[in-house]
Amino acid sequence: MMTVPPHSQTQQDEEQQQQQMTTTYHGFDRGEVTRLVIQAMYDLGYEAVAAQLEDQSGCMIETVAVRVFREAILNGRWTAAEEALDGLDGLGHVMRSMKFQIRRQEYLETLSNGLGDKREAMKVLRQRVRPLCDDAEDLHALANLMACGSTEDLREALPYWHDTDEARRELLNALQECMAPNVVLPPHRLATLLAQARKKQVEDARYWLESDGGEGFSLYKDYEADRSGFPTEAARVLDAHGDEVWYLEFSHDGRYLASSSADRTVIVWDVEQGFAIQSILEGHTGGVVYLCWSPDDSLMLTSSQDYTVMVWDPYTGEHKRTISEHTDVVGACAWLPDGDMFVTGSPDKKLCLWNTRGQKLYSWPPVRVMNMAITPDGSQLIVICNDNIIHFFDLATYAKICEMKVDKTLTSISVSKDSRYALINVKPEEVHLWDLETYRIVRKYVGQLQREFVIRSCFGGPHENYILSGSQDNHIYIWKRDSSELIETLPGHQGTVNCVKWSPTEVAMFASAGDDKTVRIWRPPSSSSNNT
């Protein structure tokens, strides 16, 4: 029988494991984890427990020097605060800036407390603030505050100025952000890490549609969202159109859905009344290619193969105005956020700005417009052309920001709610996600077909974390936005799916328009009733 010597490999392994257990917690630094728990205990109001844990573990949430510094700031003892700051490590080049912020606060409080006699405030400004102020404009602005004759004047000059206690807390937070995290823990650090873990889990989930990231999430288990709550079945089929349905769009309040058709009409459906027909807009002599609700939903623009754009009351069907400027199909129109101006564009190379009274306000240089969009914040007009060029215009100046040449045919565009990204459909089988700050493609979504027709895509979900597109193969394609993973290919239409739009108010509903003359309303399977 083999004997085990006193210090065998097994014993050494056990000793090493024991030693590791004293320094790590499941692979994490034990001291760091303990400090986070202590901070969380204080955050949760368990001060006695936190203090006991500090005593037992030997881990302090803050050093004595940091505690002295914090108390000095909160109590307005400025000299003591600077002395404590001198005793902290790792501040280096930010030390001067931090002392300036402290002295600036000292000056503002001295001025606020002595508006009747400003000599002490002047002394602080000259002797303490000026030596550390590297910006002459900042110093001039602080000196101008001497002209304030009352607390009200001072608050008007400094809109961000709060009461003294609040101002000191904000100063402390700003100063702590300059310190290394091993010196001062960022506020609520454990909660921040938990929030990051939650965000990662819900973003990785295939079918996450909660309107709030906290719904349905428990720290006790990994987050899961199944397909049953995702809109994958046609709950209703709307078949009132007499020809192909080319475009559709929900009103901003989600109450109505409008669809345009080759039958020359637009139908406005009342979502809350079971998609009953609210009105039918009749007047165009050609197929209606596009429509657009005004920002307050009071008006609607429609553009047509008859070369016109019409302005309507979408609820009564009353025709208000016709724009007859164009000499070719008007493929797109878009409202500015003020609701009083809109833009029209056509392959006739006319790109025009109008007001609701029908007056032309501006014409851009000739550009052959296939489709366009205005960012929700009104900052940019994005135009795609049949020469495969994307034009970006600044709506404040009407000047062109830049243009980007693409090596494939572009068909349609839509913009995210935050005005940061644009979806552009590209023949024969791609949707591109563009960053509107860098003017670069950041994602590509592949699979749907659009060899011949204009196919439109949209952002989906309350957080716009999905990408949807129609397709020439009669299906609807759905991808995860961040990963580009294709998660659904939904059958249902009996012809090309021309357009898809997600409801702005109903978390799990979108609509689709097809060459089969129908509009289909998609909801989770449990809500499907196959009504027509």
Question: Per residue of the chain (532 residues), what is the pLDDT tens digit?
Answer: 434 344 444 445 544 444 444 678 999 999 999 999 999 999 999 999 999 999 999 888 888 888 899 899 999 999 999 998 888 877 878 889 999 999 999 998 888 887 667 888 899 999 999 999 888 888 988 898 888 877 778 778 887 776 788 889 999 988 988 888 888 888 899 999 999 998 888 778 888 887 545 556 788 888 877 888 899 999 999 999 999 999 999 999 999 999 999 999 999 999 999 999 999 999 999 999 999 999 999 999 999 999 999 999 999 999 999 999 999 999 999 999 999 999 999 999 999 999 999 999 999 999 999 999 999 999 999 999 988 999 999 999 999 999 999 888 999 999 999 999 999 999 988 999 999 999 999 999 999 888 888 999 999 998 899 999 999 999 999 999 999 999 999 999 999 999 999 999 999 999 999 999 999 999 999 754 444 4
What pLDDT shows up at residue 212? Answer: 47
DSSP strands (E only) in 386-426: 389-394, 400-405, 410-415, 421-426
Closest CA to 185 of 78, 42, 319: 42
Q: Which two tokens stand for residue 246?
A: 């080319």
Report how far residue 73's alpha carbon sits from residue 79's, in angstroms, rounded to the nearest whole number: 10
Tokens of 501: 């739009």
Q: Please state, in angstroms and as integers, the Cα–Cα distance from residue 428 to each residue in 135, 403, 442, 474, following that order.
A: 56, 22, 19, 15
Structure tokens at 88: 């902290």
- pLDDT in the model for residue 176: 87
Tokens of 252: 């901003």
DSSP-derived secondary structure letter, 531: B
**Alpha carbons 217 and 206: distance in angstroms, whole number:** 15
Sign, CA dihedral 119-125-127-128, equals positive
Superfamily of domain 242-466: YVTN repeat-like/Quinoprotein amine dehydrogenase (2.130.10.10)
Q: Where are the domains of the chain?
A: 62-184, 242-466
Phi and psi of 154, rounded to 5°? -65, -40
Instruction: Check residue 127 and report its DSSP letter.
Output: I
Per-residue model confidence (pLDDT) at position 114: 72
Please check whether residue 174 is in contact with residue 101, taking contact to mean a CB–CB distance below 8 angstroms. yes
Alpha carbon of 465 to those of 201, 424, 461, 482, 491: distances in Å?
Answer: 13, 16, 6, 7, 22
70: its two tokens: 């914090």
Q: 65: exposed, middle or buried (C-beta count within 10 Å: 0-12, 13-18, 19+)?
A: middle
Query: What pLDDT score does 215 carry?
Result: 59
Which residue shows structure tokens 């001039």?
Answer: 140
User: How high is the pLDDT of residue 451?
Assistant: 84
Residue 216's pLDDT is 64
Q: Give the rounded distance of the alpha carbon of 516 from its chain centre.
A: 35
In eight-state DSSP terms, residue 257 is E
The enclosing H or E element of 154 equals helix 151-157
Bridge-partner residues for 342, per DSSP?
Answer: 335, 354
Tokens describing residue 383: 């135009």
Q: How far apart are alpha carbons 423 and 172 in whole angstroms? A: 43
pLDDT score at 429? 87
Task: Report the pLDDT value the prediction gives residue 211, as an integer from 0 to 100.
Answer: 53
Look at residue 29 and give its three-state secondary structure: strand
Q: How far apart are CA 524 and CA 234, in angstroms?
A: 9
Question: Is there a contact between 479 and 459 (Cβ–Cβ < 8 Å)?
Answer: no
Residue 376's Cβ-count burial label (10 Å; 0-12, 13-18, 19+) is middle
For position 22, what pLDDT does the model report? 61
Q: What angle do CA 520, 522, 528 make, to 5 degrees?
A: 105
